[in-house]
Amino acid sequence: MVSKTPEHPAQIEIPDEISGLRMTRQRQEVYRILQQERNHPTANDVFMRVKERLPHISLATVYNCLEALVQHGVIRQVNFERESSRYCPNLSEHGHFHDATTGVIHDVDFKPGINLADVLNLPPGAVIDDVEITLRGKLVSI
Amino acid sequence: MVSKTPEHPAQIEIPDEISGLRMTRQRQEVYRILQQERNHPTANDVFMRVKERLPHISLATVYNCLEALVQHGVIRQVNFERESSRYCPNLSEHGHFHDATTGVIHDVDFKPGINLADVLNLPPGAVIDDVEITLRGKLVSI
DNA sequence: AATGATAATTGGAATAGTTCTTGATATCGG
DNA sequence: CCGATATCAAGAACTATTCCAATTATCATT
């Protein structure tokens, strides 16, 4: 993870290799957009956005890039019901709250010191590789 | 919820109305299969199974029935990654552990007294309507 | 039991998101 | 520079699901 400050998206420096994955121009741009757009874009969102910089890129390539990045643990794929997958560069273990009113997806962190095994009755011998926590609801003014 | 003992599936009695939903023959059979097959079948699994009793039922009807049952809170729809939806008659709040080795899905209950708000840093004002917790991993012998 | 109104079912067509295929292009190690 | 390998592009193909229009079943009322 080599991103600099997310406040200055234009300055994001992306190395030519991340966790063993060759960072081609296409993968760089896809990754850059995920760093900038923190609103969990779909593959198609990324596609439309990346075309500004790489007008000849194809949707299939965007899918390929996203898959390669997911596979190498550089980004995460997030699924809501059966909607299109969304992608997220936040690698810390976290869940997602989907505001039904606005459609906005908020990252939701665990409170410090919380361990899944303390909360769930896991089947004996279960070794967890991946956790997905998704909440749906509304944000009401308080 | 009017089911009798799940240990004797053949004896499940299904009333002709559940939470305001007219229980047609098709819906009854779909619901009965979910009661019997506790292994989180897909719509297609249900379809193949229900055809044994209703040979003329269509896949669209199975989808309609499942949707109606979900809509009326009689069953729950469960999604894994982008795989086909699965359906589950366990209405208690619970998560799912997907064993990557066998493909089996286990229900995972919360430990007693656990409240989501104690565990997660929810955005202020968030009112949760629905929670989905899915774990992927392996079951190792202990 | 017949009637009209409403809801459910069917089968097939349509859709959306994603993956696959094939040939072209770029990149790497030597 | 050269061959081997990886990646890309464009479009076709695939899959799960939804939609559509026509038929059939059910309900409430008479």
Q: How much is the pLDDT for A6? A: 45
**Which of B40 and A117 is assigned the larger pLDDT?**
B40
- % of chain A surpassing 70 pLDDT: 90
Strand D footprint nucleotides (protein C-beta < 7 Å): 6-12, 15-20, 25-27
Please state whether the predicted TM-score (pTM) of the whole model is above 0.85: yes
Report CA dihedral (A83, A89, A94, A97) to the nearest 10 degrees.
Answer: -40
Region B101-129 average pLDDT: 92
Q: How much is the pLDDT for B94? A: 94
Region B53-81 average pLDDT: 96
pLDDT tens track for A78-94: 999 999 999 999 999 99
Region A38-65 average pLDDT: 96
Residue B127 touches partner A, C-beta closer than 8 Å: yes
* Residue A114: band (very low, low, confident or very high) from pLDDT cuts 50, 70, 90: confident
pLDDT higher than 90, residue B14: no
Region B22-35 average pLDDT: 96
Among partner residues B123, B130, B136, which is closest to A106 by beta-carbon distance? B123
Q: Which residue is nearest to nucleotide D27 (CA to C1')?
A: B22
Residue A129 touches partner B, C-beta closer than 8 Å: yes
- % of chain A surpassing 90 pLDDT: 75
Between the CA of A140 and the C1' of D5, what is the distance in angstroms? 55
